[in-house]
Amino acid sequence: MKRLFAVIALLTVVCGSRAETKKYPSPYVISRGEELPRTVFVSYRNREHAFQNDFDSSQYFVNLNGSWNFRLFASSDELPQLVGSVDELEQLVASWDSVALPGAWEIAGHGAKGSAVYAAKAYDFADSKRGVQPPKLPGDVPVAVYVRKFSVPFDLFDKAHFLHIGAVKAGVRLYVNGKEVGFSQKDSKNPVEFDVTHYVGEGRNWVALVVPQYTPGSYLEDWQDWRLSGINRDIFLFAQPKIRMRDYLVQTTLDPTYTNGLLETAMLLKTQLLNPFPVTVYYDLYDPQGKLVNSNFRDVEVGMRIEDTVRFTASIPNVVKWSAEEPNLYTILYRIKREGRFTEYVACRVGFRTVETDGERLLINGQPVVLKGVNLAEHTPETGNCIDTAQMQRLLTEMKFAGVNAIRTDGYPMPYSFYQLCDELGFYVCDVADINAEGLGTDRRRGGTLSNNPAWREAYLARIEAMYERNKNHPSVVMWSLGDRSGNGYNMYQGYLMLKGLERTRPVVYNGADREWNTDIYMPDYPKTTENHSGRPLIPSRVAFDPVWWTTAGLQGAFLERWNDMSLTADVPGGKYFLTNDYTKTPIREGWVEIPASERNQQMRELFANVRIRQVDVAKGIYEFENRLQFTNLNCYPVTYRLMDGNKVVREGTVTVEAAPGEKTQVQIPGVGSLGKGRVLLIQVGNIARAQF
pLDDT in tens, 187-223: 999 999 999 999 999 889 999 999 999 999 999 999 9
Question: Could you give the 3-state DSSP secondary structure of residue 110?
Answer: coil
Between CA 479 and CA 486, with CA 481 as vertex, the angle to 5 degrees is 165
- The whole-number average pLDDT for the span 38-46 is 98
CATH 2.60.120.260 domain residues, the chain = 33-238
Distance (Å, rounded) from C-alpha 1 to C-alpha 359?
Answer: 7
CA dihedral angle for residue 60, residue 63, residue 68, residue 72, rounded to 10 degrees: 90
What's phi and psi for 679, nearest 5 deg? -90, 150
Q: Which residues contact 340 (CB under 8 A, 6 or more apart)?
A: none
Q: Which CATH fold topology does 369-603 show?
A: TIM Barrel (3.20.20)
Among candidate residues 488, 419, 413, the one with its CA nearest the CA of residue 221: 413
Distances 169 to 226, 228, 397, 524 between C-alpha atoms, Å: 12, 8, 28, 29
Asked whether the beta carbons of 185 and 217 are under 8 A apart, the reply is yes
Distance (Å, rounded) from C-alpha 95 to C-alpha 250?
Answer: 49
CA dihedral angle for residue 15, residue 16, residue 18, residue 21, rounded to 10 degrees: -90
Whether 674 shows a pLDDT value over 80: the answer reads no
Which pLDDT score, from 0 to 100, does residue 336 have? 98
The pLDDT-based confidence of 3 (bands split at 50, 70, 90) is very low
Which pLDDT score, from 0 to 100, does residue 317 have? 98
Question: Could you give the 3-state DSSP secondary structure of residue 113?
Answer: coil
Quote the CATH superfamily of domain 609-692: Immunoglobulins (2.60.40.10)
Among candidate residues 518, 539, 521, the one with its CA nearest the CA of residue 530: 539
Question: Could you give the 3-state DSSP secondary structure of residue 464?
Answer: helix
* Length of the chain as a residue count: 693
Whether 118 shows a pLDDT value over 90: the answer reads no
Q: Is 16 exposed, middle or buried (0-12, 13-18, 19+ CB in 10 A)?
A: middle
Amino acid type, 627:
N
Asked whether the beta carbons of 416 and 619 are under 8 A apart, the reply is no
CATH 3.20.20.80 domain residues, the chain = 369-603
Could you tell me whether strands 477-481 and 428-432 are parallel, antiparallel, or unpaired per DSSP bridges?
A: parallel
Amino acid type, 207:
V
pLDDT tens-digit readout, 579-626:
443 444 444 545 665 555 566 678 888 899 999 999 999 888 899 999
Which pLDDT score, from 0 to 100, does residue 587 have? 44
Please give the share of the chain, as a percent, with pLDDT higher than 90: 74
Which pLDDT score, from 0 to 100, does residue 645 have? 86
Q: Kindly report the CATH class assigned to 33-238.
A: mainly beta
Distance (Å, rounded) from C-alpha 693 to C-alpha 66?
Answer: 45
Cα dihedral 551, 557, 562, 564 sign: positive
- The whole-number average pLDDT for the span 104-132 is 79
Asked whether the beta carbons of 383 and 570 are under 8 A apart, the reply is yes
Whether 568 shows a pLDDT value over 50: the answer reads yes
What is the distance, to the nearest Å, from the Cα of residue 259 to the centroid of all Cα atoms in its chain?
Answer: 29
Which pLDDT score, from 0 to 100, does residue 549 have? 95
Which pLDDT score, from 0 to 100, does residue 642 have? 92
b/e per residue 493-514 (b: at least 16 CB within 10 A): bbbbebbbebbbbbbbbbbbbe
Which pLDDT score, from 0 to 100, does residue 442 have? 84
pLDDT tens-digit readout, 509-551:
999 999 999 999 999 999 999 999 999 999 999 999 899 999 9
Asked whether the beta carbons of 538 and 553 are under 8 A apart, the reply is no
- The whole-number average pLDDT for the span 108-115 is 77
Which pLDDT score, from 0 to 100, does residue 466 have? 98
**182-191, 247-256, 329-338, 375-384: segment of lowest average pLDDT:** 375-384
pLDDT tens-digit readout, 479-507:
999 999 999 999 999 999 999 999 999 99
Which pLDDT score, from 0 to 100, does residue 445 have? 83
Asked whether the beta carbons of 649 and 608 are under 8 A apart, the reply is no
Question: Could you give the 3-state DSSP secondary structure of residue 395?
Answer: helix
Which pLDDT score, from 0 to 100, does residue 483 have? 98
The pLDDT-based confidence of 7 (bands split at 50, 70, 90) is very low
Q: Is 90 exposed, middle or buried (0-12, 13-18, 19+ CB in 10 A)?
A: middle
Q: Which CATH fold topology does 243-350 show?
A: Immunoglobulin-like (2.60.40)
**69-73, 384-388, 679-683: segment of lowest average pLDDT:** 679-683
Distance (Å, rounded) from C-alpha 36 to C-alpha 246?
Answer: 9
Phi/psi region, residue 473 (left: phi>0; alpha: psi -120 to 50; beta: rest), is: alpha
CA dihedral angle for residue 505, residue 510, residue 515, residue 516, rounded to 10 degrees: -80
Question: Could you give the 3-state DSSP secondary structure of residue 472?
Answer: coil
Q: Is 196 exposed, middle or buried (0-12, 13-18, 19+ CB in 10 A)?
A: buried
Question: Could you give the 3-state DSSP secondary structure of residue 509?
Answer: strand
Question: What is the residue-averaged pLDDT of the chain?
Answer: 90
CATH 2.60.40.10 domain residues, the chain = 243-350, 609-692
Which pLDDT score, from 0 to 100, does residue 19 have? 52
The pLDDT-based confidence of 349 (bands split at 50, 70, 90) is very high
The pLDDT-based confidence of 27 (bands split at 50, 70, 90) is confident
